[in-house]
Amino acid sequence: MTEFVAVAGVDELEAGEMRAFDVRGVKIAVANVGGAFHAFDDTCTHAGCSLAGGDLEETTVICPCHGSEFDVRSGEVLQGPAREPVETYETRVEDGSLKIEG
Ligand code: FES
């Protein structure tokens, strides 16, 4: 069964913001896109930079190091140099807590 780990209060991450959390030893970034939370690996598949340190434009995260772009909903690469997608994770909101599959 999928387990969810509480990482923050839902009101700690405002719309348009991203933040990385340590979920059982894996750095997972969460983006708030208009109130919907999308979780994905924080580590860029190109050279390992933190995606949460980049920019979020609607549903696209832009890596701060060399500009790779990923879709936060699917993890798919939209723009290189990265070639491999990032893993995505389910999120859920319960009792005011933001939870990530972990
Ligand atoms: S480390 Fe992300 S684009 Fe190079």
Site to substitute for ligand 1 among 43, 46, 78, most atoms within 8 A of C-beta: 46
Residue with tokens 């009792």: 95
Q: Is the pLDDT of residue 1 over 80?
A: no
Q: Among 73, 96, 70, which residue's Cα sits nearest to residue 83?
A: 70
- The answer to whether 41 and 31 are in contact (CB under 8 A) is no
Residue with tokens 């069964």: 1
23-74 pLDDT per residue, tens:
999 999 999 999 999 999 999 999 999 999 999 999 999 999 999 999 999 9
pLDDT for position 75:
98
Q: Say how many domains are in the chain.
A: 1
pTM confidence score: 0.95
Q: What is the CATH number of the domain that holds 34?
A: 2.102.10.10
pLDDT for position 68:
98
Domain that holds residue 29: 4-101
The answer, yes or no, to whether any atom of ligand 1 lies below 6 A from the CB of 65, is yes
